[in-house]
A and B are shown apart, each in its own frame.
Chain A
Amino acid sequence: MKHCEYQQIDPQALSTPTPTPTLPLQQAVVQEEKKGETARRKWEVFPGKNRFYCDGRIIVAQQSGVLPLTLGLILVTTVLFFVFDCPFLLKHLTVFIPAIGGVLFVFVVISLLQTSFTDPGILPRATPDEAADIEKQIDNSGSSTYRPPPRTKEVMINQQVVKLKYCFTCKMFRPPRTSHCSLCDNCVERFDHHCPWVGNCVGKRNYRFFYTFIVSLSFLTVFIFGCVATHLALRAQGGRGLMFALQESPASAVELVICFFSVWSILGLSGFHTYLVASNLTTNEDIKGSWSGKSGAEDTGNPYSYNNIITNCCSVLCGPMPPSLIDRRGFMPVEESSQTVATEIELAAKKEINVVGGPTPSQLPPCALQVPPSPIPLPATPNHLQPDLQTPV
């Protein structure tokens, strides 16, 4: 009797009728194609809604939001300040005024750009193998044609129960304090909020830049406001009046208006974030009231706080800088030769089955021929299948 090569399916995969990643034919085809391609960097296949520049060095959210407006406002105000107010103040007061203004401006722009262009702490999505492993651990029954009820896992942190939620997009249990940003379609560690002014999420890695930005911007705004007011006051001296001063220096009026309207919100934001830093909270947690005990009489304090303002500040702002986990500039892994060898044999096996046409389709493993093609080439293809010689016939 002629032996046909069948593929041994992982029995656990069969017992759960989930479309586990067993698409050997499509995978083999994709792998064949991939062998011929030049290596691509990982940012080119990044699944989230981010945009990359400079070959992956710079990462921003999909919509830049009002980042151009933020930059524009800061630039315009500061340039007007240097051009119209500084010469007068330099002559009448001190050289330190433009110097301090310059330092503050540099701080503001650098921290703004760093906040916008840094990876906020994006967690890479689970590989198909990992996702399958977690699925197996969670439930072994039921089909996945509908979304099962939200899955949670409980852990104890500092003698307090914390619930970890399962992220359906990233296919993993979110670490504590991680949240999924729908605008960027990523799970971000220590997610604070998505800031449209900065055009990026604020998370673990760029929170210190964000804090530096808003604090230095508050100082800059107050400084410019103060200097412009002084300038106008000096010009209006000698009974000449404010209108005269404004006519002589109309740019100062523009600066005054911009600064006046922005100083309240920026100072307010700085104050709010200083409170958050001191109590080691995120905006997300504060808004939801995760630790304020609103949800019942349990003793829910913040398990991440060190209960010491100085320690909290130091750990949030001066702690070690965590690395970026998404490795934007790394190259896509070239498929291992072991897998290509195995898939070549699978391809041959496929041809055998098709040509010989011996066994009836019902005896063949269902996934081999009837699964619809997967549109997404899987970067890391699991290969549980090996040609096996046992003929069931």
Chain B
Amino acid sequence: MAETHSLQELQQQAAVASKVYVQRDYNSGKICKFQTKFPSELESRVDKQQFEETMQTLNNLYAEAEKIGGKSYLEGCLACMTAYTIFLCMETHYEKVLKKIARFVKEQNEKIYAPLGLLLTDPIERGLRVVEITIFEDRSIGSGR
């Protein structure tokens, strides 16, 4: 039985069994942070440590995007002085980190989760509300009569 699939194979051939949602953790305020609690549905599929590490890295990346510090103030003041027209030309710090996050999610999917039959959806595609984890079925579909 082929346990390992590549990312493309998964998306093209396997059927979706179920989806697990990791919600936002608002206990630290309004910053974007996801719960690191290990969902029970994934117990049979992936190592708890690995999953928590992925979530923690994701949280750290979002914290970096939303960090309020010297650099963001400079960007804000410069934007204010130019009547915010620089946003038309320049990519904001947040957007740069979002691209980093997209790359990170893709890399995690390719290296770790796709071979296990899972797929992480970049939270930005769900409005930064949830991390959607799609669990693919291993058995082939359309088994004959």
Q: Which residues of A contact B (CB under 8 A)?
A: 3, 5, 106-107, 110-111, 114, 123-124, 126-127, 129-130, 133-134, 155-158, 162, 164, 172, 175-177, 208-209, 212, 303-304, 314-315, 317-323, 325-327, 336-339, 341-342, 345, 382-384, 386-387, 389
The residue that A175 contacts in the complex, of B26, B142, B143, with Cβ under 8 A, is: B26
**A108 to chain B: closest residue by CB:** B83
The CA of A110 and the CA of B14, in the complex, are separated in Å by: 50
The CA of A176 and the CA of B25, in the complex, are separated in Å by: 11
Interface code B129-145, partner A: CB below 8 Å = 1, 0 otherwise? 11010000100011101
The CA of A110 and the CA of B79, in the complex, are separated in Å by: 12
Contact: A382 with B142, CB < 8 Å?
A: no
The CA of A123 and the CA of B129, in the complex, are separated in Å by: 9
Contacts of A345 in B (CB 8 A): 141-142
Q: Does B42 sit at the interface, judged by CB under 8 A?
A: no
**A209 to chain B: closest residue by CB:** B84
The residue that A383 contacts in the complex, of B16, B66, B84, with Cβ under 8 A, is: B16
Q: Looking at the assembled complex, report how far the CB atom of B55 sits from the nearest CB atom of chain A, in whole angstroms.
A: 17
A sample of 26 inter-chain contacts (CB < 8 A) reads: A3-B145, A5-B145, A106-B83, A107-B83, A110-B83, A111-B83, A114-B83, A126-B129, A130-B21, A130-B129, A133-B19, A156-B27, A157-B30, A164-B26, A317-B76, A320-B67, A320-B76, A321-B92, A323-B95, A325-B127, A342-B141, A342-B142, A384-B17, A386-B15, A386-B137, A387-B141
Contact: B68 with A339, CB < 8 Å?
A: no
Q: Does B112 sit at the interface, judged by CB under 8 A?
A: no
Interface code B106-130, partner A: CB below 8 Å = 1, 0 otherwise? 0000000000000000001111111
Q: Does B72 sit at the interface, judged by CB under 8 A?
A: yes
Contacts of B142 in A (CB 8 A): 341-342, 345, 387
The CA of A317 and the CA of B77, in the complex, are separated in Å by: 9
Q: Does B60 sit at the interface, judged by CB under 8 A?
A: no
Contact: B92 with A320, CB < 8 Å?
A: yes
The CA of A162 and the CA of B87, in the complex, are separated in Å by: 34
Contact: A114 with B84, CB < 8 Å?
A: yes
Contact: A314 with B84, CB < 8 Å?
A: no
**A155 to chain B: closest residue by CB:** B26
Contact: A208 with B21, CB < 8 Å?
A: no
The residue that B80 contacts in the complex, of A212, A322, A325, with Cβ under 8 A, is: A212
Contact: A318 with B127, CB < 8 Å?
A: no
The residue that A212 contacts in the complex, of B16, B26, B83, B124, with Cβ under 8 A, is: B83
Interface code B52-83, partner A: CB below 8 Å = 1, 0 otherwise? 00000000000001111000110111011001
Q: Looking at the assembled complex, report how far the CB atom of A392 sits from the nearest CB atom of chain B, in whole angstroms.
A: 15
Contacts of A314 in B (CB 8 A): 68, 73, 76
The CA of A110 and the CA of B73, in the complex, are separated in Å by: 21
**B76 to chain A: closest residue by CB:** A318
**A109 to chain B: closest residue by CB:** B83
The CA of A371 and the CA of B27, in the complex, are separated in Å by: 41
Contact: B29 with A157, CB < 8 Å?
A: yes
Q: Does B85 sit at the interface, judged by CB under 8 A?
A: yes
Contacts of A386 in B (CB 8 A): 15, 137, 141
Contact: B93 with A157, CB < 8 Å?
A: no
The CA of A7 and the CA of B8, in the complex, are separated in Å by: 27
The CA of A341 and the CA of B80, in the complex, are separated in Å by: 52
